[in-house]
Chain A
Amino acid sequence: MKMINLKIDGTPVTVPEGTTILEAARQAGVKIPTLCFLKDINEIGACRMCVVEIKGARALQAACVYPVSEGLEVITNSAKVRKARKITLELILSNHDRRCLECSRSQNCELQSLSRELGVNEIRFPALSDKKLLPIDSISPSVVRDPNKCVLCRRCVSVCKNVQTVGVIDTMERGYRTVVASPFGKSLAETPCVNCGQCIAVCPTGALTEKSEKKEVWNAIADPDKYVVFQTAPAVRFSIGEAFGMPIGSRPTGKMVTAIRRLGVDKVFDTDTGADLTIMEEGTELLNRIKNGGKLPLITSCSPGWIKFCEHNFPDFLDNLSSCKSPHEMFGAVIKTYYAKKMDIDPAKIFVVSVMPCTAKKFEAKRDELKNSSGYVDVDAVLTTRELASMIKEAGIDFTNLPDSDFDDPMGNATGAAVIFGATGGVMEAALRTVADILTGKELKEIDYHAVRGVEGIKTAEVEVAGKTLRVAVASGLGNARKLLNSIRSGEATYDFIEIMACPGGCVNGGGQVIQPSQVRSWVDLRALRAKATYEEDAALPIRKSHENPVIKALYSEFYGEPGSELAHHDLHTHYHKRDNY
Chain B
Amino acid sequence: MDNGCLKNDEKYQKLLEVIEANKNIRGSLIRVLHDAQEIYGYLPIEVQKVVAEGLGIPLAEVYGVVTFYAQFSTKPKGEYKVSVCLGTACYVKGSDKLLEKLQEELGIKVGDCTQDGKFSIEACRCIGACGLAPVFTINSDVYGKKIPDDVPGIIAKYKN
Chain A interface (Cβ < 8 Å from any Cβ of B): 161, 166-174, 182-184, 191, 581-582
Contacts and interface: CB of A to CB of B under 8 A. Distances in A.
B56 to A, nearest CB: 10
A184 B45 contact: yes
A183 B52 CA distance: 12
Nearest to B57: A167
> Chain B: interface residue count, which band?
10 to 19
Interface stretch (B12-20, B62-70, B151-159): B62-70
A547 to B, nearest CB: 43
B58 interface: yes
Interface in B7-54: 45, 48-49, 53
The 4 closest A-B pairs by CB, nearest first: A167-B58, A183-B63, A170-B60, A170-B64
B63 A168 contact: no
A184 B60 CA distance: 8
A369 B113 CA distance: 44
B45 A172 contact: no
Given A183-B48, A184-B45, A168 B67 contact: no
Contacts of B61: 161, 167, 170
17 contacts: A161-B61, A166-B58, A167-B57, A167-B58, A167-B60, A167-B61, A168-B58, A169-B60, A170-B58, A172-B63, A172-B64, A182-B60, A183-B45, A183-B48, A183-B60, A183-B64, A191-B60
B112 to A, nearest CB: 16
Given A172-B68, A173-B68, 19 more contacts: A166-B58, A167-B58, A168-B60, A169-B60, A170-B58, A170-B60, A170-B61, A170-B63, A171-B68, A183-B48, A183-B62, A183-B63, A183-B64, A184-B45, A184-B63, A184-B74, A191-B60, A582-B45, A582-B49
B59 interface: yes
B68 A174 contact: yes
Given A184-B45, A582-B49, A172 B67 contact: yes
A171 B58 contact: no
Nearest to B48: A183
B58 A174 contact: no
B55 to A, nearest CB: 12
Contacts of B64: 170-172, 183
Contacts, number: 44
Q: Which of A168, A191, A581 has the most CB of B within 10 A?
A: A581
A167 B74 CA distance: 20
Chain B interface mostly: helix
Nearest to A184: B45
A182 B64 CA distance: 9
Nearest to A167: B58
Nearest to A161: B58
Contacts of A173: 67-68
A168 B58 CA distance: 7
A93 to B, nearest CB: 25
B60 A174 contact: no
B71 to A, nearest CB: 12
A246 to B, nearest CB: 38
A582 B59 contact: yes
Contacts of A174: 67-68
Nearest to B62: A183
Chain A CB count within 10 A is highest, among B48, B57, B59, for B59
A147 to B, nearest CB: 14
A581 B57 CA distance: 13
Contacts of B59: 167, 183, 581-582
Contacts of B49: 582
Contacts of A582: 45, 49, 59
Chain A CB count within 10 A is highest, among B45, B49, B63, for B63
A172 B53 CA distance: 19
Q: Counting chain A CB atoms within 10 Å of each CB, which of B60, B61, B67 scores highest? A: B60
B35 to A, nearest CB: 20
Interface string B68-85: 100000100000000000
A167 B60 CA distance: 7
B100 to A, nearest CB: 22
A183 B45 CA distance: 9
Contacts of B74: 184
Contacts of A171: 64, 68
A371 B58 CA distance: 32
Nearest to A169: B60
B101 to A, nearest CB: 26
Nearest to A179: B67
A168 B64 CA distance: 11
Contacts of A191: 60
Contacts of A166: 58
A140 to B, nearest CB: 15
A538 to B, nearest CB: 38
Nearest to A183: B63
Contacts of B57: 167
Nearest to B58: A167
B54 to A, nearest CB: 13
B65 to A, nearest CB: 9
A170 B48 CA distance: 15
B138 to A, nearest CB: 27
A537 to B, nearest CB: 38
Interface in B81-106: none
Contacts of A168: 58, 60
A167 B63 CA distance: 12
Nearest to B53: A581
A171 B57 CA distance: 14
A579 to B, nearest CB: 14
Contacts of B48: 183
Contacts of B67: 172-174
Contacts of A581: 53, 59
Nearest to A173: B67
A110 B97 CA distance: 46
Contacts of A167: 57-61
A184 B62 CA distance: 11
A171 B74 CA distance: 16
